[in-house]
C-alpha cells in the first residue's frame, strides 16, 4: 500500500523539492496551498504549475487573512540576511499551526496517512514554528486530535537549504518555476532574506 500524503505546498523551492522527494519515495501525494492574503501570493501560481507538471492534485484554501507580519502588509519587508534580528518581522503569527491544522483536517476527511511540510534547519533561527520542538508538539497533537492518527512528516527538518537545493537538483526540480521572494513583485527583489538565502543555497549546487 502506497502511503497517502497531503503536502503543504507554498510554491517555494523547499516545499517543491519536498513534493519531488515524496514522489521519489513512492508516496501518493496531494498538495494543499494557502491563500492568507500574503504579499507574495504569486507563489500560489508556482504551486499550481508545479502540480500540473507532476500530475499532483492541488487545492488552494482561502483562509482568513493572517496579520501582524511584514509578509502580510503590516510591516515593511526587511532586507538583508536571515540571521538578522529584523527578520523576525517576517514571522506570520502561528501561520504554520494554522496550515497544519487545516491540512490535518483535510487529510483525516480524505483518509490520508500523513501530512508533510518543508520546514528545515535554516529556518530555525527566525521561525519558531519550524523548529524540532514545535514539530514534536504538533506531531503529538496530530496523534491525539481524532479517532484516526495522522502522522506529520518533516524529512527536511535537520537539513539546511543548501542540502535541499542539492537534493532538488538531483531530482530535477524545475527551480525556475518556484517562487521565493517575500516582496511578491514581478521579479525576485534579490534583497530580502528569502532571496539572499535562496541564492546562497543555489550556489552550493555547483560548489558540491
CB closer to a copy of itself out of 22 and 135: 135
Establish if 48 lies at the interface with a copy of itself (CB under 8 A). no
Label residue 109 exposed, middle or buried (CB < 10 Å: 0-12, 13-18, 19+).
exposed
Q: How many residues bind a copy of itself (CB under 8 A)?
A: 38
| Nearest distance, CB of residue 167 and a copy of itself, angstroms | 27
Phi, psi of 90 (to 5 degrees): -90, 0
Among 3, 68, 169, 204, binds a copy of itself (CB under 8 A): 68
Among 144, 172, 176, 206, binds a copy of itself (CB under 8 A): 144
Q: Measured between alpha carbons, how far apart are the two ends of the chain, in Å?
A: 36
Establish if 57 lies at the interface with a copy of itself (CB under 8 A). no
CB closer to a copy of itself out of 139 and 204: 139
| Nearest distance, CB of residue 176 and a copy of itself, angstroms | 31
The answer to whether the beta carbons of residues 102 and 36 sit under 8 Å apart is no
User: 60: number of CA atoms within 13 Å, CB side?
Assistant: 16
Establish if 189 lies at the interface with a copy of itself (CB under 8 A). no
How distant, in Å, are the alpha carbons of 15, 182, 200, 206 from that of 196? 18, 11, 6, 17
- Other beta carbons within 10 angstroms of residue 110's beta carbon come to 10
Reading the block at residue 15, the C-alpha cell is: 516545499
Phi, psi of 109 (to 5 degrees): -60, -30
Stretch that binds a copy of itself, among 14-22, 117-125, 128-136, 169-177 (CB under 8 A): 128-136
Compute the distance between CA of residue 117 and CA of residue 15 in angstroms, rounded to an integer.
7
Among 4, 28, 75, 102, binds a copy of itself (CB under 8 A): 102
Among 125, 145, 177, 196, binds a copy of itself (CB under 8 A): 145
Kindly list the residues in this chain that would bind a copy of itself in the complex (CB under 8 A): 61-64, 66-68, 88, 91-98, 100-102, 104-106, 108-109, 128-129, 131, 133-134, 137-138, 140-141, 143-147
Amino acid at each position: 500500500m502506497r502511503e497517502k500524503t497531503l503536502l503543504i505546498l507554498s510554491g517555494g523551492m523547499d516545499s517543491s523539492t519536498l513534493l519531488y522527494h515524496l514522489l521519489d519515495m513512492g508516496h501518493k501525494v496531494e498538495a494543499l496551498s494557502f491563500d492568507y492574503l500574503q504579499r507574495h501570493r504569486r507563489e500560489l501560481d508556482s504551486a499550481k504549475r508545479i502540480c500540473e507538471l507532476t500530475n499532483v492534485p492541488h487545492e488552494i484554501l482561502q483562509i482568513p487573512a493572517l496579520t501582524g507580519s511584514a509578509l502580510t502588509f503590516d510591516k515593511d519587508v526587511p532586507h538583508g540576511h536571515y540571521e538578522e534580528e529584523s527578520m523576525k518581522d517576517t514571522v506570520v503569527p502561528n501561520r504554520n499551526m494554522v496550515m497544519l491544522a487545516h491540512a490535518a483536517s483535510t487529510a483525516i476527511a480524505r483518509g490520508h496517512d500523513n501530512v508533510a511540510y518543508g520546514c528545515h534547519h535554516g529556518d530555525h533561527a527566525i521561525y519558531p514554528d519550524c523548529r524540532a520542538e514545535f514539530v514534536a508538539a504538533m506531531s503529538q497533537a496530530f496523534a491525539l486530535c481524532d479517532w484516526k492518527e495522522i502522522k506529520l512528516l518533516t524529512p527536511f527538518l535537520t537539513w539546511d537549504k543548501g542540502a535541499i537545493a542539492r537534493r532538488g537538483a538531483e531530482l530535477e526540480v524545475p527551480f525556475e518555476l518556484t517562487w521565493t521572494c517575500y516582496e511578491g513583485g514581478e521579479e525576485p527583489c534579490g534583497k530580502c532574506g528569502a532571496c539572499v538565502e535562496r541564492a546562497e543555497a543555489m550556489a552550493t549546487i555547483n560548489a558540491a
